[in-house]
Chain A
Amino acid sequence: MDKTINQKAWFLVLPVFLVVAFSAILPLMTVVNYSMQDTFGNNQFFWNGVGWFKELLDPSTDLGGRFFASLWRNLFFSGVILAIEVPLGIVVALSMPREGWRVAFCLVVLALPLLIPWNVVGTIWQIFGRPDIGLLGYVLNNIGIDYNYVSNEVDAWFTVIVMDVWHWTSLVALLCYAGLKSIPDAYYQAAQIDGASRWAVFTSIQLPKMHRVLLIAVLLRFMDSFMIYTEPFVVTGGGPGNSTTFISIELVKIALGQFDLGKAAALSLVYNLIILIVCWVFYTIMTNAGAERRPSKPAKPAKGGA
């Protein structure tokens, strides 16, 4: 579809630009300002140049050590949950019922965890996992597994990962389901005539058709897991020790806990930069994938068939 060039379209975009700029650019300027200064309290600030950044990127200092430790922890976490949630989401999407009231029922239950406030998600798992009053902790301990997420690092990680799988696999599943729904029946009929196996149908019809939504799913899941804060904070508070302290938790600790504005600002900028780069890579891949196959006919309106 060709779009016409029209510079007046800027007037339509202007409100969005103003609202987001107010919330994004002004605060970001404050952050840049803080990141270059040091303070000894009483609102007295001193020029510190790139001092904070040097400290941040040097793992031998206290700040740098904490930053890199939480960065690796966070990357490991994102990797693990992507490796679980993406395949599981695809399987769940393929297991959706074909039609009838079951579809609506499954969709509503799948979407339910996504609508629960994040701290309540934390609370749910905090309660569910406790050995004394929670079903999961109680059952695990009774079948002989010593499970306590408050004191054991491995158990804390297990709880945080299972919680994230519980919370977000539905998002991947719903995205894949939307992708699967858009495959015309003719494709399957052709596959049947060719005598294609189920696996062949999956790899050469379903997977390529889901490719676009899967990209969105991976992007959203990576980003959201990379900035995860509330859920692990409620469940483990970043502990035991620092074992589940992710970057956001570290950042809030420095900024609002210790009021170390300079350090927090420098950390914020580097954090934001990492996210910007990853986001740009995904965006480029996504727009290229979109340019390959952008249908010229209008998309079908979603049917209220449930």
Chain B
Amino acid sequence: MHTIPGRRLIMSLFLVFLLLPIYWLVNMSFKTNTEIVSTMTLWPHQPTIANYMRIFTDESWYSGYINSLKYVIINTVISISVALPAAYAFARYRFLGDKHLFFWLLSNRMAPAAVYALPFFNLYSAIGLFDTPWAVALAHCIFNVPLAVWILEGFVSSVPREIDETAFLDGYSFPRFFIKILVPLIASGIGVAAFFCFMFSWVELLLARTLTATEAKPISAIMTRTVSAAGMDWGLLAAAGVLTIIPGALVIWFVRNYIARGFALGRV
């Protein structure tokens, strides 16, 4: 692959630009509030893990992480399982209204969450799902299902048709072909799609916050509590922030070899 002159320097500068704000957050999470407010230090001079201990011992804090993970996982499972057959249909067949349907799905990926916040609130209150992980998981389907279909369609298209035909000649029924042959073939695609569902559900706040009150409050909503009468608890806020970055970083590590292709939605 051809690159450009000075690429090492450009890349290094960009990586520093990306990492510096994150470093600052980590740095602050290990400081005491007195140190944060009183002096400007580039690294914690009196490192403390008190901020983290408070999060791990206080149930109202760590339950936020569990709530977030709950709806993210439910959402990923729903999205992938409904998107797989649809992706196959879009990749292999033409049917009445297929292009319009695909565009409609895509347009839902682009719909602003702010538009849906209030109607979702009414809808999920009416059917009694308000303040449960299910409400958030179903609400996040509006952008994750289209995305999963989009990514998986690209991956299914890259599987040669001959494989389907041979399988059917060999007497495979459709469900058996799907599970035994197609799914293993596009396993990396499923991984990438799951990664994206995880990512977009994990980072979203507006809907998650609107659809929960006390029982299923996500961590990102709990973080706003650090503002108290005594002023901002910066160290605690920073520690909570650092802990929300960790699941994402772990997931990236597993899919690192497929990230580039995944971001191109399987279409390169």
Contact = CB atoms under 8 A, between A and B. Distances in A.
B22 A124 contact: yes
Contacts of A255: 114, 117-118
Interface stretch (A55-63, A76-84, A146-154, A296-304): A296-304
A274 to B, nearest CB: 10
A112 B111 contact: no
A47 interface: no
B65 to A, nearest CB: 11
Contact of B118 (A201, A206, A264): A264
A213 B223 contact: no
Interface string B87-110: 011101111101101010111101
A145 interface: no
A186 interface: no
Contacts of B78: 19
A198 B22 contact: no
Contact of A96 (B11, B17, B20): B11
B223 A124 contact: no
B125 to A, nearest CB: 12
Nearest to A302: B261
B238 to A, nearest CB: 7
Most buried by A among B8, B257, B259: B259
Contact-size category for B: 35 or more
Contacts of A201: 2
A113 B18 contact: yes
A76 to B, nearest CB: 18
Given A104-B257, A213-B264, A91 B10 contact: yes
A116 B245 contact: yes
B241 A123 contact: yes
A229 B82 CA distance: 29
Interface in A262-306: 264, 268, 271-272, 275-276, 279-280, 283, 287, 298-299, 301-306
Interface in A1-48: 1, 3-10, 12-13, 15-17, 19-20, 22-24, 26-28, 30-31
A196 to B, nearest CB: 10
B229 interface: no
Contact of A3 (B81, B93, B206, B241): B93
B89 A120 contact: no
Interface stretch (B44-52, B53-61, B248-256): B248-256
Contacts, number: 318
Interface in B126-178: 138-139, 141-142, 145-146, 149, 157-161
A77 B164 CA distance: 47
B257 A31 contact: no
Contacts of A124: 21-22, 24-25, 241
Contacts of B138: 19, 22-23
A216 B264 CA distance: 8
A264 B118 CA distance: 9
B168 to A, nearest CB: 12
Given A12-B85, A94-B7, A115 B202 contact: yes
Contact of A135 (B20, B81, B237, B248): B20
Contacts of A138: 40
B95 A134 contact: no
Contacts of A118: 203-205, 220
9 contacts: A19-B82, A27-B119, A104-B256, A110-B18, A117-B244, A123-B241, A125-B21, A178-B260, A256-B117
Interface of B: 1-8, 10-11, 14-15, 17-22, 24-25, 28, 36-37, 40, 42, 78, 81-83, 85-86, 88-90, 92-96, 98-99, 101, 103, 105-108, 110-120, 122-123, 138-139, 141-142, 145-146, 149, 157-161, 188, 199, 202-206, 210, 219-220, 223-224, 234, 237-238, 241, 244-245, 247-249, 251-253, 256-261, 263-265, 267-268
